[in-house]
Structure 1
């Protein structure tokens, strides 16, 4: 089996840069005596849990205050707060689909091996890789990758809703360090401690991490095969049904429909049909109707694999986005019924152009990534105010054309 997508020198260089930036940021932060006291108290808990004093002290070296950026991020979760159209546009988009198809060809030997072992559709794994880390692109981004120990300690110390989660994950992260799976300076992750190409929190890493490339390490940070196999193991272990769909876009009748789970045959009797006009492969399968954008938006009948995807992230939006992106990577056409938008949408390339033009005007300081997040929409609102037009903040064709004219 050829070794693909292994780039240790680049990864460790990026990780070193991130480490230095992180340490610089920590040095600039004013030490917090209360936090330092908490760290010393938690040290007793960690030692009782089997963490050596040396591992603990080394892990917390230089960490003297909580990370406010982590707390800010914890208060905003796009799965629940972003408009429906924005959430899906930022994930099921042209750039992700094209990159997914390219990676599918490059990774084919590994994807075949992973599918044979775990039974998970490669397109699903590619969609997870895209949504979780932009195919590894965020691993070198100091704006989103933080010291996992500090992030989890911050949640355990300062976030009332996530204290238990933070403590549990912090202990698991310390055990990862103690096991030697990764060196401390490279233990980088999201605000919630999600790590590597497929963004596993420490306890999930401990439960599902796989060394499929055979180098002796379960390396989700630096080995794409290990990361994809780890994601496949999680899905397989939670009941993924080999060869079965996650769901189908459907058309629904105007009358009110029941909630809950019914067989496909029962849904058909109620007037539910596949949106593309094709028949359902199985009439006996149990399915549930999902309307993420209300009755006037796209509708989906979802099956067991949809709910298995929610074991990765317990959000209907997330599971739907993964399924839709996987379908598009596999060659499926766009949705028959589009999301409800109060504007004319742009594709990801056009959003990039919009972001570049906003940057040129000094209104946007974020990444040019084709994703219309809060920063992009704030910049659009500022531009609209200055242009003297109605302020809406939408990444629309109308705003792009106005920018181009100026």
Structure 2
């Protein structure tokens, strides 16, 4: 999970969270014994268990990051300016040119626009340049042992062991975020099991070192989430004076022509009057924040399946409109 997925962060003093992990070192060893026993019962090989669980210890930094508390809320304008930066757009355009044949083939296979796959790749890991440096098994084991959301992270840890046992990646290469999100698309292990693909046909689903597999997995994720081919995600609009902002919610879906009758207009001057496509007016900054408004459609909500944030989905849409 990239930092842009978080609207705010509060850093607890490192010493306040490091001590408990060290104090419970013995119990962590017992925890790993239980994990190993469960893994063996589920058919994971002794070799995989030994390689993955040997020489790992509670990671104090992971615990520190997990215990951060919100300090405030990042505004839409601040998030947009960071996420939809000119550098990210320029890099996306270069990636579009460098990977054009691959993107065209993936677009044809998954019926998801290449520009959307690129935009998610760009926000998640800056096109693969920031995939995370944590040992995923160690991070997940730390979180599963530490107690908060233990069952969730234990399930992710078991999925990570199954991925290793299947030979998709070596233990030393299975690196990602402090919370266990992996590779270029930042998939959690259970998402990897459901949605990662072997797009390059080499027998492995390698979202760490294969651009084909990484981008194909993003495309498959969106396709399986209900992407509608040929429909746009949304578009920026202008609201009339006096517009009732309580009507600006994703749930308030109406035919576009109805929004046109209410005085909603496009920023580029094109007409909305003739369309019966269902859409919702959405203010990413909320009714009291920035008044930048968007008319969003079904595919906007599909992007939110990847990350359930209006900020995130809008940023993906805006980048996609600029990179290709």
TM tier relative to shorter chain: 0.7 to 0.9
* CA shift for structure 1 position 264: 0.9
Number of the residue aligned with 2:314 = 320
* 1:221 paired to 2:214: no
Instruction: Tell me the equivalent position of 1:309.
Output: 303
**CA gap 1:88/1:71 in 2 versus in 1, 3 angstroms:** farther
Q: Which runs of 5+ in 1 are unaligned?
A: 1-28, 331-406
- Aligned residues of 2:257 and 2:272 also touching (Cα < 8 A): no
SS at match of 1:283: coil
Which position in structure 2 is the counterpart of 1:43? 36
1:211 aligns with 2:198: yes
Larger-gyration structure (1/2): 1
* Structure 1 residue 272 displacement after superposition: 1.6
Q: What is the CA deviation profile of residues 292-325 of structure 1, one whole-angstrom value per residue up to 9, with x for unaligned ones?
A: 1234421111111111111111111111111111
Secondary structure in structure 2 of the residue aligned to 1:137 = coil
- 1:267 alignment partner in structure 2: 259
State the alpha-carbon separation in 2 of the partners of residues 297 and 248 from structure 1: 14
| Equivalence for 2:146 | 158
Matched with 1:334 is: none
Displacement after TM superposition at 1:84 (Å): 2.4
Counterpart of 1:86 in structure 2 is 78
Stretch deviating more after TM superposition (279-288 or 169-178): 279-288
Map of 2:230 onto structure 1: 243
Deviations 1:179-235 (A, max 9, x none): 011111111011121111111111111112222222222111111111101100010
Q: TM-score, normalised by structure 1?
A: 0.69
The residue aligned with 2:26 is: 33
Alpha-carbon RMSD across the aligned residues, in angstroms, is 2.1
**Distance change >3 Å, CA 84–CA 71, structure 1 → 2:** farther
Runs of 4+ in 1 over 6 A off after TM superposition: none
Task: Structure 2: give runs of 5+ residues left out of the alignment.
Answer: 1-21
Q: Kindly tell me the number of residue pairs found equivalent between the two proteins.
A: 295
Q: State whether structure 2 residue 180 is matched by structure 1 residue 186.
A: no
Q: What is the match of residue 289 of structure 1?
A: 281
Q: How far apart, in 1, do the equivalents of 2:151 and 2:101 lie? A: 41
Contact 1:71 1:159 survives alignment (8 Å): no
Greater relative contact order (Cα 8 A, min sep 6): structure 1 or 2? 2
List per-residue Cα deviations over 1:47-101 (Å, max 9, x = no partner). 232223332222111013x2222233334599x8433223222210011111111
Q: CA separation of 1:169/1:225 partners in 2, compared to 1, >3 Å: closer, same or farther?
A: same
Residue 159 of structure 2 corresponds to 172
Alignment partner, residue 107 of structure 1: 99
Q: Using the alignment, how far apart are the partners of 1:172 and 1:76 within structure 2? A: 25
Say which is worse superposed, 175-184 or 66-75, in terms of deviation.
Answer: 66-75
